[in-house]
Chain A
């Protein structure tokens, strides 16, 4: 079955440390790829998206993600985490020429002072 997997349910990092959140997908062709962030009690906000071209994409709030076709991955990174980054992060995909955005299970990020 086609799916989106976020292996880490919870991650805790210290403020100022680097961050990498993992996302893997299992689709035959390269899908369209997205990362969303959900702050407590809020809806989701788009961080970045990949459709084609340069495999390293920049997003808002200092986040970036790298698409690796060989690993079917689209990991989210940030060089230095701020306390305000504490939130839940969702990877999502739309199969190429498909019409439904499918979400991973989410990774909850906690930031230690």
Chain B
């Protein structure tokens, strides 16, 4: 039972480069979300999706794009990486929107030089 799988686990980018963080879940969860974790700031919501074809912005969406073409996958795209996007990124899913237990991936550590 894989749960929530994130790739890559580590990535180093140069300023201005683009990349996609992959997230897949095998629990048939409707709700998926992306958070970034920075020291002392907890986790902040970037984007979320309540089902295939539906996405919405969270607290810190600027510089990131998402799409949800299938129930299983929820990729996060950095269009033009900036040093301020250096962070650890977590994908999470749940049956319900915000009310159920969130299941987290193991995280993707991104460094932007």
Interface residues of A (CB under 8 A from B): 4, 6, 9, 32, 36, 41-46, 49, 51, 90, 94, 98-106
Contacts and interface: CB of A to CB of B under 8 A. Distances in A.
The A interface, classified by DSSP as helix, strand, loop or mixed, is loop
Contacts of B59: 100, 102
Contacts of A49: 101
Given A9-B40, A100-B45, A103-B44, A46 B98 contact: no
A43 B42 contact: no
The B interface, classified by DSSP as helix, strand, loop or mixed, is loop
Given A49-B101, A99-B98, A100-B98, A43 B90 contact: yes
A44 B106 CA distance: 8
Contacts of A4: 42
6 contacts: A4-B42, A43-B104, A98-B98, A101-B33, A101-B102, A106-B42
B97 interface: yes
Given A32-B99, A99-B98, A104-B42, 12 more contacts: A41-B106, A42-B106, A43-B92, A43-B104, A46-B101, A46-B102, A90-B42, A98-B98, A99-B97, A105-B40, A105-B41, A106-B40
B106 A103 contact: no
Contact of B104 (A45, A94, A104, A105): A45
B104 A44 contact: yes
Contacts of A51: 99
Interface string B79-113: 00000000000101000011101101111000000
